[in-house]
Amino acid sequence: MPIVVCYTSSGILNTAFYGSGIRGWAPSENRYIMDIVIDTSSKIIVVGYRIYGSSSPESGKDDWIFRMNSDASTDSTFSDDGSFTTNVGSYWASNSRSANSEFIKDNGQILVIGQGGDYFTKKFMVYELSTDGVLMNAAMPVFFQKTNYNIANKVVRDNDGKFILAGSILHYSAGGSFGMLKIDSNNSIDTAFGTNGWITHTDQTATSSFGGINDLKVQPADNKIVIAGMTAANVVTIARYLNTTTTALHSDDFQVEHQVQVFPNPADDNLNIRIEDNSLLNEEYAIADLNGRILAKGVLNNPTSIINIEKLSKGMYFLIIAKGNLTEKFIKN
């Protein structure tokens, strides 16, 4: 059963919120909440989907947007009854849709992103709602397709006022993983971003399972994009991308968390190196400064190795493991 819960600042249920602190929907309604935002008037907007015809999400689903007042009562000024969908379908319909994320624009309009399609083909879906829950354009939703299977999970606005949709891109014959699409304020593809508006990072080690971006943020200082998610080979991943006409993955910012961990960071006299990938055991490492000078070398003999860095001056350094093509930054206090 989907629920929205409100706590006080003391961490107890706020009984002014729907009488109990909890608003829920009956399990029989088959509704799922994917994202929640609060607008400038303190109204709460949830987005998600409603399954119809079967308990399986792939049997068919409608996108679902619901707005409530700050006390969790239904906001009847929104789409007449507080609830909106672009799609009222049926079992195994070809127009199955899900709303996965939302962004409240400065003018109060709601940008909704997600997926649309049938069991075999899915596309990034985008539409906008007015403040009273009406589609801004009769041509909406707009759909974007890169491969057979495209699911937009999250949306953010960058420092230039453009929107980046991120999620899963699956190539049936070549693996599947990260996908991003950049659109302008008119919901048109920004073709200067990546390759014709798209960035994909394909994991060719798995051809039948999903990876994807679960969340992303734009750095305020430089407009770079930081994403977090999972590759199709089930590798937890953090990566940072440029956000320019030459958008590319920063190789020194790509971190596969299950391979190597460096801690504490910053460090004082000792640096711990934890190896999660046994293939890296007994491999050589090096420590280099910002000028590329090698200051120390050694071998990672154990799953957790302790490196003495007492003689290093304060500053930033790199731990380099050649075999895994891994470079980890650390700071010496």
Written as six digits, the tokens of 97 are: 């849709």
- pLDDT one digit per residue (tens) for the chain, 333 residues: 799 999 999 999 999 999 999 999 998 888 999 999 999 999 999 999 988 765 555 557 889 999 999 999 999 999 989 999 997 655 555 578 999 999 999 999 999 999 988 767 889 999 999 999 999 988 999 999 988 788 999 999 999 999 999 998 876 555 567 889 999 989 999 999 988 899 887 654 444 456 788 999 998 888 889 998 877 666 667 777 877 654 444 444 444 444 678 888 889 999 999 887 777 788 888 898 877 788 999 998 888 999 999 999 988 888 888 665 677 888 898
Over its C-alpha atoms, the chain yields an Rg (Å, rounded) of 23
pTM score = 0.71
Angle at 55 between CA 51 and CA 59, to 5 degrees: 60
Please give the Cα distance from 64 to 83 (Å, whole number): 7
Residue with tokens 């003018």: 107
Topology classification of domain 3-256: Tachylectin-2; Chain A (2.115.10)
Say whether 260-332 and 3-256 share the same fold.
no
Cβ–Cβ under 8 Å, residues 326 and 320: yes
* Distances 255 to 16, 93, 137 between C-alpha atoms, Å: 44, 40, 41
Topology classification of domain 260-332: Immunoglobulin-like (2.60.40)
How many other C-beta atoms are found inside a 10 Å radius of the C-beta of residue 281?
Answer: 13
Q: Where are the domains of the chain?
A: 3-256, 260-332
Cβ–Cβ under 8 Å, residues 176 and 203: yes
Query: Which distant-in-sequence residues (6+ apart) come within 8 Å of 321 by Cβ?
Result: 260, 280, 283, 284, 285, 300, 327
For residue range 275-317, what is the model confidence (pLDDT) as tens digits? 877 777 888 888 988 777 889 999 988 889 999 999 999 888 8
